[in-house]
Structure 1
Amino acid sequence: MTVTSAPAGNPIITGPIVATILRLSTPNMMAMVATAAVAIAETAYVGLLGTAALAGMALVFPMVMLQQMMSAGAMGGGVSSAVSRALGAGDIERARSLAFHTVLIALAGGLGMTVLFLGIGPALYRLLGGRGAALDQALVYSNVVFVGALAIWLCNLLASVVRGMGNMAVPSATLLAVAAIQIVVGGGFGLGIGPLPRLGMAGVGLGQVVAYGLGALWLMRYLRSGRGRFVLPLSGVALRLDHAADILKVGTVAMLSSFQSVLTVLILTRLVAQFGEAALAGYGIGSRLEFLLIPVTFAIGVSLVPMVGMAIGAGNAPRARRAAWTGGFMAFVVTGAVGVAGWLMPEAWARLFSADPAVIEAARSYLVWAGPAFGFYGLGLCLYFAAQGAGRVFGPVLAGTARLLVIAVGGWWLASTGQPAWTMFALVGFAMVVYGLATMAAIWSTRWGR
């Protein structure tokens, strides 16, 4: 029998939209900053292991990021969307069943990634240019990380269940702890600090697996304790294809966005490399400022998933749309301000990373041409998360496809006709504008709710 609980008084459904977005996004921002700190720390201590280790990590890093985007962003968004819509409708029993099916999806996703990368890893890293010692280091790191893929999927999807309840504090605190544990364990075993054995790249990978494994255990304990809006059942729940489909219809389509994002970066890197080492280095410096947009848009966007989902579940589609447009505008303002700052002071940013005049000029060119469009990228990415909450992601994913095609086709033409490097950077900015406007059009034209 279906158990319902009226959502009356739920502040996520009834509270002021701007205040609710700020309240929900602040913990997410802290978690994203911690994740960025992990990337910096890992790069630092992997550098102490030598050039081959750094090169090996560079080969595996896009795949590690892809797994994070698939589990935390894509499938995690599907989980939060489904759970929040069920809770918005007051259907507690459906929400419990969705959480149970989330565990099964995490098992399938984690084990699937293990089998996939143990099988294709060597060939894939060779295709990306891995040779000799760098390839050896890449395989050591990759094998450990992807053997423990289940821990990463389980932690990220359980965190998404809690976010679907409208609770951002518990997942964010968990991910802060995961980040700290990953730095300590990965650095300790990687470098052999104190009594710990020096395991090199295997130790670095072990840090990620141990940290996410402990995070998954903590979130499982929380969901089983009754402190959330419902208790996660681990047995006694019938398998429901329609409940699994409610998650997968959003998560699997959203995975295409993850693939497109990684593919766009790989294609763009390859195209810029044709303009020379200085252009590639300058692009890398400029894109570091671009990466600062991700914590902001992720923090706001993830807060929109339960806000939109619960409003849709409660039959209040107009509020869901107001939340989406408000969050998108906030992301546009913040990320646009970062881009304008880069446009106004490009050399100040570039000189933080290099003193080479050619590299500084390339970074300046990138920020001058692409920086003013950063706001459109933040807008599109934030609205993509809102669309996850509504369970309508096909349009925003197509917007990502449009961005990919602009980069791939336009970049190929620019490179093949011998255009200067600044034209490639201008193309990057144009692609961001296309992505933002196309996502807006998709949200505007797609019906939300029943």
Structure 2
Amino acid sequence: MAGGLDIDRLRNGPILSTLLRLSVPNVIAMVVTVMVGIAETFYVGRLGTTPLAALGLVFPFAILTSTMSAGAMGGGVSSAIARAFGASDAARARTLALHSILIGVSMGVVYSLLFLGFGPLLYRALGGHGAVLDEAVHYSTVLFSGALLVWTSNTLASVLRGTGNMRVPSTGIVGIGVLQTLLGGLFAFGAGPIPGLGMVGVALGHVLAHVAGVAFFAWCLTGGRARLTLAFERFQVRRELLSDILRVGALACLSPVQTVLTMLVFTALVARLGEVALAGYSIGQRLEFLVTTISFGVGVASVPMVGMAIGAGDVARARRVAWTAALVAGAVTAAIGLLVAVFPDLWARMFSRDEAVLDVARQYLRIGGPAFAVMCAGLTLYFSSQGAGRMLGPVMAGTMRLAVAGLAGLWLASRGAPAWQYFVLAAVAMITYGLSMAAAVRFTSWQPAGGTGPGAALTGGAAPGSALSGGPAPAAPSAANPGVRRGG
């Protein structure tokens, strides 16, 4: 199956054009994902105010499922596999893929058990009660019963991305999104012999779409249809390979948690000002969420390029890829942010005609819009840091943003601050994150342990083919190397 750029181009080709070719499919897939969320919100809104309020309780944790499995742990998976390909160690890449699946399945089971067991307590702590709480529990029970499928699907997609293949994972994500939208509407409202299940039907559509996603990605990774072919024969769990993935992915999982907490902090602060302020802020927050998908698309594309450069010992190229990706994401989102800062009604009037709500939305867009570029450039550097296997700095940058939002927010709340001051704080927190990420990349050594050269990034200096490297002596990717295809 075609779908990935040549390894030589990923390791040695022109940076900007290669990055753009990898980014476009990802951005399209992320936009489709956002549209699915809008469609599901529309469905639930038609069911009534109570289901819509229940969705608000569950939504942050549903988003967390995707961001942790695809962006955080998924980045750790892609990084480890890309570094193996960069060192021409195909056997190690193939074995890392199997360990990735083990991690994804395990995390999916834990995530399901966590939210099935403690979900009702979390929703109650967020203010859910009565009929709203009941709806939230019914919806989340079905939704998080399928967490294993979401984790497995995103893990398999990340394995493909680690090989430099962006088109096939993006095609799968678009297919999942379309199927999820169709099935969610069908099961929510019913048609013919199929009864309407309400919110539970929306969740059921989500689960069944990911069943199809797992099947599609598994098919791509078996039978020689991708650059890396899964082979489960004689598979043995190896601690050093689990560590290669988890030392990036596990630490990276803190970042989406920080992002969700920051969202909750600002939502709680603005909610104190009343329904109008919260509605106006939510309009602006939707755009903030949408522009971050651009960072995700560009950032995920940078992971295999950075990882392969690190695996090959070319740290200078890895850094050039990272800064180029940040500039691309920053330039695109700067244009969007400045546009809505000057003409906020282009976005705000899509969601409301209430002038009071629009006034608040305009305030947020005029203040926060110009800061989008700095935040999105920083988020792209977060993904590039995954490719380099260096995550402490990015986690510290997220901590800085959360601390600024929480501490300054409490101070503003004690003073009875108006909405525009909270929006200034939101912009300051975005800029803090972006600048902190830039500093983390600038001052963190990306030099592989044990020096430069193929294999150093993977094993702390052990050459591929040693007992530590996890595979035979390196061989150029070719048809002669089992499990690897040159152009797949």
TM-score for both structures, normalised by structure 2: 0.89
Go from structure 1 to structure 2 and tell me whether the alpha carbon gap of 1:44 and 1:225 turns closer, same or farther (over 3 Å shift).
same
What's 2:388 paired with? 390
Counterpart code for 2:90: I
What's 1:281 paired with? 279
Counterpart-to-counterpart distance in 1, 2:18 and 2:7? 14
Are 1:337 and 2:335 counterparts? yes
Counterpart-to-counterpart distance in 1, 2:348 and 2:186? 32
What's 2:133 paired with? 135
What's 1:59 paired with? 57
Shift of 1:419: 2.4
* Match for residue 181 of structure 2 among 162, 180, 183: 183
Counterpart code for 1:290: E
Secondary structure of the structure 2 residue equivalent to 1:224? coil
* Match for residue 48 of structure 2 among 34, 47, 50: 50
Counterpart-to-counterpart distance in 1, 2:286 and 2:122? 25
Counterpart-to-counterpart distance in 2, 1:407 and 1:162? 36
Q: Could you give the per-residue CA deviations for residues 335-357 of structure 1, whole angstroms, max 9, x where no partner exists? A: 11111111111244323322222
Matched-pair contact (CA < 8 Å) for 2:283–2:348: yes
Counterpart-to-counterpart distance in 1, 2:408 and 2:216? 47
Secondary structure of the structure 2 residue equivalent to 1:10? helix
Counterpart-to-counterpart distance in 1, 2:311 and 2:138? 46
Counterpart code for 1:366: Y
Are 1:328 and 2:337 counterparts? no
Shift of 1:119: 0.7
Secondary structure of the structure 1 residue equivalent to 2:230? coil
Counterpart-to-counterpart distance in 2, 1:368 and 1:61? 26
What's 2:68 paired with? 70
What's 2:123 paired with? 125
Q: Could you give the per-residue CA deviations for residues 313-353 of structure 1, whole angstroms, max 9, x where no partner exists? A: 01111111000000101111111111111111124432332
Shift of 1:393: 1.3
Shift of 1:289: 1.9
Matched-pair contact (CA < 8 Å) for 2:101–2:156: yes
Secondary structure of the structure 2 residue equivalent to 1:292? helix
Instruction: Find runs of 4+ consecutive structure 1 residues off by over 6 angstroms.
Output: none
Counterpart-to-counterpart distance in 1, 2:289 and 2:113? 30
* Match for residue 307 of structure 1 among 300, 305, 308: 305
The within-5 A match list for 1:171-250 is 171-250=169-248
Counterpart code for 1:239: V
Go from structure 1 to structure 2 and tell me whether the alpha carbon gap of 1:27 and 1:69 turns closer, same or farther (over 3 Å shift).
same
Counterpart-to-counterpart distance in 1, 2:104 and 2:194? 31
Q: Could you give the per-residue CA deviations for residues 381-409 of structure 1, whole angstroms, max 9, x where no partner exists? A: 00000000000011011111101010000
Counterpart-to-counterpart distance in 1, 2:47 and 2:345? 32
Are 1:22 and 2:7 counterparts? no
Counterpart-to-counterpart distance in 1, 2:306 and 2:7? 16
Shift of 1:50: 1.9
Go from structure 1 to structure 2 and tell me whether the alpha carbon gap of 1:95 and 1:9 turns closer, same or farther (over 3 Å shift).
closer
What's 2:270 paired with? 272
What's 1:170 paired with? 168
Secondary structure of the structure 1 residue equivalent to 2:411? helix
Q: Could you give the per-residue CA deviations for residues 41-78 of structure 1, whole angstroms, max 9, x where no partner exists? A: 11122222222221111111111000111101100000
What's 1:356 paired with? 354
Counterpart code for 1:208: H
Shift of 1:8: 9.2
Go from structure 1 to structure 2 and tell me whether the alpha carbon gap of 1:225 and 1:269 turns closer, same or farther (over 3 Å shift).
same
* Match for residue 370 of structure 2 among 369, 372, 381: 372
Secondary structure of the structure 1 residue equivalent to 2:253? helix
Matched-pair contact (CA < 8 Å) for 2:156–2:217: yes
Matched-pair contact (CA < 8 Å) for 2:31–2:290: no
Percent sequence identity is 53
Higher mean C-alpha deviation, range 238-247 or range 350-359:
350-359
What's 1:4 paired with? none
Are 1:258 and 2:266 counterparts? no
Counterpart code for 2:27: M
Counterpart-to-counterpart distance in 2, 1:235 and 1:104? 15
What's 1:3 paired with? none
Higher mean C-alpha deviation, range 20-29 or range 199-208:
199-208
Counterpart-to-counterpart distance in 1, 2:42 and 2:133? 20
Shift of 1:99: 0.5
Go from structure 1 to structure 2 and tell me whether the alpha carbon gap of 1:34 and 1:349 turns closer, same or farther (over 3 Å shift).
closer
Structure 1 unmatched runs, 5+? 1-6
What's 2:31 paired with? 33
Counterpart-to-counterpart distance in 2, 1:429 and 1:313? 37
Aligned length: 444
Instruction: Choose between structure 1 and 2 for higher RCO, CA contacts under 8 A separated by at least 6 residues.
Output: 2
Counterpart code for 2:430: M
Matched-pair contact (CA < 8 Å) for 2:7–2:164: no
What's 2:473 paired with? none
Shift of 1:194: 2.6
Counterpart-to-counterpart distance in 1, 2:249 and 2:7? 29
Q: Could you give the per-residue CA deviations for residues 76-129 of structure 1, whole angstroms, max 9, x where no partner exists? A: 000000000001100111111110101111111111011111110111111111
Counterpart code for 1:356: D
The within-5 A match list for 1:408-419 is 408-419=406-417
Higher helix share: 1
Go from structure 1 to structure 2 and tell me whether the alpha carbon gap of 1:348 and 1:218 turns closer, same or farther (over 3 Å shift).
closer
Counterpart-to-counterpart distance in 1, 2:298 and 2:419? 34
Counterpart code for 1:193: A
Counterpart-to-counterpart distance in 1, 2:80 and 2:427? 34
Counterpart-to-counterpart distance in 1, 2:295 and 2:432? 17
Counterpart-to-counterpart distance in 1, 2:11 and 2:297? 19
Counterpart-to-counterpart distance in 2, 1:26 and 1:193? 36
Secondary structure of the structure 2 residue equivalent to 1:109? helix
Shift of 1:9: 5.8
Q: CA RMSD in A?
A: 1.4
Shift of 1:301: 0.4
Secondary structure of the structure 2 residue equivalent to 1:225? coil
Structure 2 unmatched runs, 5+? 449-488
TM-score for both structures, normalised by structure 1: 0.96
Counterpart code for 1:144: V
What's 2:146 paired with? 148
Go from structure 1 to structure 2 and tell me whether the alpha carbon gap of 1:354 and 1:92 turns closer, same or farther (over 3 Å shift).
same
